[in-house]
Amino acid sequence: MIAPYFVIIPLLAAFLVPFASNRRDTGAVLLSLAAGTSLLVLSAYAFFGLSGETQVYRMSAWKLPIGINLVLDAFSSFMLVMVSLIALTSLVYSVKYVRRLDRDWRYYSLFMILVAGMNGVIVTGDLFNLFVFMEIALFAALVLVAYGGQAHEFEASFKYAVMASVSASLILLAIAVVYGATSTLGLATISQALSRQSPLLMLWVGGLFLAGFGLKTAAMPFHAWLPDAHSSAPSPISAMLSGVLIKTLGVYVLIRLFYNVLGAPRLFLHLFLGLGSVSILVGVLLAVGQWDIKRLLAYHSISQVGYILLAMGLDTTLGMAGAVYHMINHAVFKSLLFYNAGALETALGTRDLREMGNVSKLLPVTSATSMIASLSISGIPPFNGFFSKLMIIVAAVQAGHPLLALVAVVGSLLTLASFMKVQRYGLRGGPPVEKTVGRVDGWMKTAMVILAALCLITSLLVVPGIREATLDPVVKVIMDKTQYATTVLGK
């Protein structure tokens, strides 16, 4: 019964951080690193210890129609591993990075609240509880976006906050409709009650959920807030937002709701296909034209989430495996790219690619790891991005959508083009840079090297023996669809 600890540990750490640090942030750093490590160990233990089982924890021992339960199955523990991994590297990266912003322990406290909110969204089995945890994560994210205290950061945070309040209202409306129709809030009981209701209700509920959580996912028509928020935040926070926040609050919840609760209605799967392919193309086309390195990366997040949505809409086992696999791959390489961008910004004092030059001599670790990340995101063979994109493309062809497969291939080529631009202008081309304004310290290098290694290690997940142990149980939970309800209620 370890499900509640995924919320307890970060929340407790957030509370204890102010006490552990008075004037210096050493206590805060140590405490949050300890919390991050224990979360990673716990989630890895949960993922490999479950072996396809589902654990249900009843809060205060209330049974389901009345109480709130926490559900830990293969899919949620997979997401927990992803969040803990990126959170830990992000904390390692932050140690020196946030000190130049001249603030103290508040950063770590907020960071832990962000992690608590995301973990809560992942483990909860109750719709309203999910909403509350989502708001917790969002508030922390909003404050962290504005953490640097500059004008454009407040502006981005305000835009993000307005978007978040619109999507919160839509989600609340959806919860009201669901509760009005089914008189229950547990995901499992909703799933059983909705299957007896009219299909028209499914349209209402699905439409409101798609609009609400689609805003969080930042798929193409809902994307306007993302490039500002993700590029204005401090780099470790950008990595958290692009790497895991849009996936936990957006993609994870969409998969959970539309597959496990609503039973994958056809209309919405087609909408996923449409949203996904539009996001892939338009996201990457907007990215190619950017000169600010972090804005470029933020637009790529839209495009890469498009791949996940596209694979989600295919409704095949291989497609879903591709979606889940691409989720963790994107978390790894996009976080690494944001760390690289942060390192470049620290060293050169600019985010404009035109003002950068050849830094391969000056910053060997940054330029090497950014090469690995760029190759991963563009889908070049030995790295992880290639395998997940290949899975998605093959699944699209098998499902009878060759046109969408073509969209995915074209998107991948354009991604390669835009990262050649990053490498050419930002890191390798042009005159060598003589001196730096800041130093890329050991903590930042450690975080970058860990994630660069993970870019290679996660490509092992397709190896047959390893795939059965990692990806397949996750895909099974999703593709069992409304079996979820009987599994949760059966205990």
Binding stretches for another protein (CB under 8 A): 128, 131-132, 135, 139, 142-143, 146, 149, 151-152, 154-159, 161-162, 164-166, 168-169, 172-173, 175-177, 179-180, 183, 185, 224, 227-228, 232
CA-CA distance, 211 to 197, in Å (whole number)? Answer: 21
Sign of CA dihedral 59, 62, 64, 66: negative
Between residues 59 and 168, which has the closer beta carbon with respect to another protein?
A: 168
Torsion of CA 455, 461, 463, 467, to 10 degrees: 180
Between residues 155 and 472, which has the closer beta carbon with respect to another protein?
A: 155
Between residues 6 and 299, which has the closer beta carbon with respect to another protein?
A: 299
CA-CA distance, 397 to 31, in Å (whole number)? Answer: 49
Q: Nearest distance from residue 268's CB to another protein, in Å?
A: 22
Q: Which of 220, 474, 459, 464 is nearest to 323 (CA)?
A: 474
Q: How large is the angle between the packed helices 187-194 and 151-182, nearest 10 degrees?
A: 50
Between residues 225 and 333, which has the closer beta carbon with respect to another protein?
A: 225
- Structural contact between residues 80 and 124, judged by C-beta atoms closer than 8 angstroms: no
CA-CA distance, 368 to 462, in Å (whole number)? Answer: 25
Which residues contact residue 162 at a Cβ distance below 8 angstroms, ignoring those fewer than 6 apart? none
Q: Nearest distance from residue 193's CB to another protein, in Å?
A: 14
Residue 181 identity (one-letter amino acid): A
Which residues contact residue 98 at a Cβ distance below 8 angstroms, ignoring those fewer than 6 apart? 107, 147, 234, 236
Tokens representing residue 423 in the block: 């490498």
CA-CA distance, 94 to 456, in Å (whole number)? Answer: 23
Q: Nearest distance from residue 359's CB to another protein, in Å?
A: 26
Label residue 33 exposed, middle or buried (CB < 10 Å: 0-12, 13-18, 19+): middle
Q: Nearest distance from residue 110's CB to another protein, in Å?
A: 12
Q: What count of Cα atoms within 13 Å lies in the side-chain half-sphere of residue 435?
A: 1
Q: Nearest distance from residue 469's CB to another protein, in Å?
A: 40
Between residues 58 and 96, which has the closer beta carbon with respect to another protein?
A: 58
Between residues 187 and 440, which has the closer beta carbon with respect to another protein?
A: 187
- Structural contact between residues 212 and 138, judged by C-beta atoms closer than 8 angstroms: no
Sign of CA dihedral 432, 434, 437, 439: positive
- Structural contact between residues 154 and 146, judged by C-beta atoms closer than 8 angstroms: yes
Q: Nearest distance from residue 155's CB to another protein, in Å?
A: 6
CA-CA distance, 73 to 43, in Å (whole number)? Answer: 11
Between residues 194 and 440, which has the closer beta carbon with respect to another protein?
A: 194
Between residues 176 and 463, which has the closer beta carbon with respect to another protein?
A: 176
CA 123 to chain centre: 15
Q: Which of 116, 169, 136 is nearest to 8 (CA)?
A: 116
Between residues 171 and 462, which has the closer beta carbon with respect to another protein?
A: 171
Between residues 167 and 412, which has the closer beta carbon with respect to another protein?
A: 167
φ, ψ dihedrals at 290, nearest 5°: -80, 145
In this structure, what DSSP letter does residue 27 have? H
Strand, coil or helix: 122: helix
Between residues 181 and 390, which has the closer beta carbon with respect to another protein?
A: 181
Q: Nearest distance from residue 158's CB to another protein, in Å?
A: 5
Q: Nearest distance from residue 117's CB to another protein, in Å?
A: 12
Dump the DSSP string for 12-26: HHHHHHHHH-SSSSH
Q: Nearest distance from residue 161's CB to another protein, in Å?
A: 5
| Cross-strand bridge partners of residue 57 | 70
Q: Nearest distance from residue 172's CB to another protein, in Å?
A: 4
Q: Nearest distance from residue 124's CB to another protein, in Å?
A: 14
Between residues 95 and 178, which has the closer beta carbon with respect to another protein?
A: 178
Q: Nearest distance from residue 132's CB to another protein, in Å?
A: 6
- The CA-to-CA distance between both ends of the chain, in Å, stands at 13
